[in-house]
Structure 1
């Protein structure tokens, strides 16, 4: 009965059933050193779920079995106590409580036993009175050094539960587990690959392993390595396995075609019309052809499935031989080691390689390979990111960012260069791609391209303008605005989530445009400072919000008058220096320093305004070509629209409306009334603030 609650890990490792992967050697060495200490000689592994705490303990077990530890630890047994399961069952079983007490009594003074308790913090928040006795007894044995113990927990749980407990805190030595590096993660996945291949009966490619690391690191931010990469391999393997066991699409199409032909034949037979005899004969021929095709496909599928199963059988043999090899190494049976390592295992591996190479030559109906594409499909489904964006090389793509922006933004070359360089620099020299946050402060008059630049960036970086989150900060200027913006933790405020958190849940990778940032409440500014400093999004409870690559753009036109006044007299760098001096009276110095770049947008010149108007008008008039009308605007029309469409305070914000009212309304009336013919070239002219058409 107790076998399900207390497990001898040494025995499982001897049987070759323990998933022990010795990659994090430093952490295992730290555990060994702690056991040799006089005080605080019980290690506690601290790290998030999925970081590999249990695997480190399994690695220690393997080293003990392989006798690759100091003499003091050679005969140690590690017992895994499933504390959570025990505490659940004790409430219903007095016998279980009695048996566990007896086991703890036997452990007492047995220096060859090390107990392993996963999630050690769970002993504190189980509110069952019967549990208190066993918990006190367990803590007492650890405190009096009657038993060695390895515990695991997370950082937050350690601070909340274990640190305040004086008994456990003085007996346990902390070991913080860091996320493995790329090399370590890939090595862990390579070691685990064979067991996943065997379980799912698939072939996991090297590209899938690299993709599992890269994509999980880029797009999954609420989990840690190697757990999130292993999860991707697991799910992608399951996806391929389902396809192998299911009828492929091409097979279902043939079956559906046969069913349709059978229905058509039945209908014609029912009519008993002699004229249908030839049609029926033709349908019968088609049915026979399709049934032969179906039989052929099923035979091929059967053969392929048999080959896949045969490879699985060979891999099973390889696993058994590897277990025998481990045993031979422990027993130092050198002849057996030679036989297994040099002859038997390589022979089976060659057979597997031969079959897999042979498969490439002939056209397969079933795909049993887990590739980069399968990993990308899982990410796409979970994160809502297009597959083509996931598969693109992120850093290579950025080399074209400046060119892409220049195509659509006129007269802001200096601003474009600063924005492009900042994004490329952050992506290139950032220590990791995890939780990237780039911040900008855009300063300049309205209607000169600040919002448009953000739209271009969202389309270029994240494949959709929907990933641009626009928030007008003039709506968040009072003291309680932070609760609407971020969310509240107070019960009186119903624990609601703010607009920013809601948007991040929908778009983990996005551009956040905070308009009129100077009008935001001080609490919000302080909160943004915290986010930009720590490079991660948190709520008011300091709980990390899942996000990927984020660009925060704070926009203000409060110093537009300076840019307008200095535009013709000063160079860009001079205007920028004056602007920076001016905003120090508006924003705190610490806030300015923490922003990645402050970008000044120039006032547009008359020629630039005309060029923008011409481009905009040409694009709109191209729609008339689809209706068969060719319309050409004269230069005087461009000049007039530039004068009407540009405003000192609002820039070119109203340009679309002006073109609609002055040009498109005129055209639509003429087309509907059939006053103009499709064969002729129409010219738009202007005179005395009025617009008209001529042929």
Structure 2
């Protein structure tokens, strides 16, 4: 068996580099211009440009063919290696191009080359470092005398682990990080583990895939720009339907092919099965704002189209209903919808996507509702609707007939891994647009803060909104990286509370808080000291994170100052007594009265629930449960403030003082 060797000369990458230097370098182009100059001067004198134009066109066509050959046959990493015994054949063109003195490759040269490519720079930016910092810290950990052949063998194994056929910058850097030593110390300084590096490399691989731009006349680009041809010949003219819908068939296909993240996979599978049936092909996606309802619809649309192409089935037109235009742009929207859907029935397979079904069902136009229900019962037009949980309970579930016409999937928050993946995808778009970088550590911080402090909405939507704001804030500050301060400011705006690092002014405010409270609350020095101590711990984030910031029982006879203490605390710490949410527990003394706090579970009732609504609007607040001993025990059955409807309100960002008269003997 031939022994392994490392030689870059007999490789495709080196041949590509040699041909580029020979035919496509700036010097070569200058030679071409100088060679053609006499012919152009002679043509200018004679006025005959045909021959010289032909020669020029022939030359540049030849250069185009050479360039195409280099890119598709020599630089292309999918081509098989020339020799498996020569490990140099596994090195990509991007790395070879940056290597100096390619006849004598050493580990320091490999480290320098790998960290300087586009892929290498992306990985380092995810770690929050620039190439210069990385090399200063880690170059001492490699030596010219180290065995290059052994290292390339390790890099080949790393490439296989990453699912790649060639050794690019990602595999080389991964092999260095696996060696430990100064590289392990470098990762510790970046506050990332080797498993975190694997995750970063996974998403860098996808970033590289989607960054490969399509050429100008690529079929995908032409379809997106010009649309499909002859669609009306196949499915018939549908002017009435086209007037109130937007065709997204081509868009969902392109999005599906370029989307590297698939969340809610179980729900997607259910939706595809339902919409592929022969009858009752109506789906309703229910979930909180930000749960990914529209993304799920796009993923389902892509998988349906892919399934139809693989099986040779007629293609389904995927149309988004322009609900707002239908409701406000026509005097008789029911007649317009009726004509449009009849056209859809005759045209062939149509999937009607309704992004806000509540807008139709909320209308008092019974004719419109009847038309809508009629076509839900039809087997010729499928409907794919979206609703938030509250709208579903108020407008769909209250009508058993309508509810029965839909198969339903309920979306919950994405997992941490899924959320990170969605954030990475969004980051790729923002990076291209704003030239601002977000480190992997910043992603984890963003996700944790969003989940902890932002009550409204679901993951990944609320984390994605924070990412958008943080990137724009960093750009406005002329920073290359999104810092922890940018993330905390964005979360503070979304959560309506201050989660930024404690400032000098606030330190003084906390230091003076005890004196301010004692000057307004007489004779309760020990209680005030306990309150202030808890406030300081909470502001410094020294708490479990899953409980209220502080829970106190104010015990004492009438007139001692229990309610007054809560009011003073709201004014001095929260800035205003408006931050005080007061519940007189006299009003919640029986079991049914708990619904006045959390809302009525009956969909036909539209009681929101006083406490959950107030906390939803003001998550950073002081909740005073006055005379708690008079309330039914069901009010406090859980440490989490939940609605009777699907959405949850977490009280962990609130302060909850209870007041109770000492003379009462009822348990609180």
Q: Output the TM-score relative to the length of structure 1.
A: 0.45
Q: Output the TM-score relative to the length of structure 2.
A: 0.46
Bigger Rg, which one: 1
